[in-house]
Amino acid sequence: MDTNSAANSAEGAVKEVAGKVQGAVGDVLGDPGTQLAGKARELSGKAQQLCASTTSLVRETTAESPFTAIAVVALAGFVAGALWAHGASERDYRR
């Protein structure tokens, strides 16, 4: 994991803990708004950690086998283009 991914992962962990604390404070106070904000912050932290680990994994995999990465991106582009073309044939722009 590079330093940027590690920093994002650490920041995500801090957000997750802060969200848990905020949610607990909301539980104690009986404030649903604070509970919801805490849960949102907690989930945001988890998402940031997941994004950092996914980015790191993609970088490592691309470095180990660049041709496979190119093939996967090309296939994804082909599928996206096919879906786009299929949807375009069903649209009626003459309204």
List CB contacts of 18: < 8 A, sequence separation 6 or more.
Answer: 41, 45
CB 58 within 8 A of CB 8: no
pLDDT at 82: 92
Q: How many domains in the chain?
A: 1
**Residue 5's pLDDT band (cuts 50, 70, 90):** confident
pLDDT at 95: 63
pLDDT at 93: 65
Residue 95 maps to a domain: no
Structural domain boundaries enclosing 80: 3-89
- Give which of 64, 41, 55 is closest to 6, Cα–Cα: 55
Residue 14 maps to a domain: yes
pLDDT at 2: 74
Q: Once rounded to an integer, what is the mean pLDDT over residues 69-83?
A: 95
Residue 94 maps to a domain: no
Per-residue pLDDT at 30 exceeds 70: yes
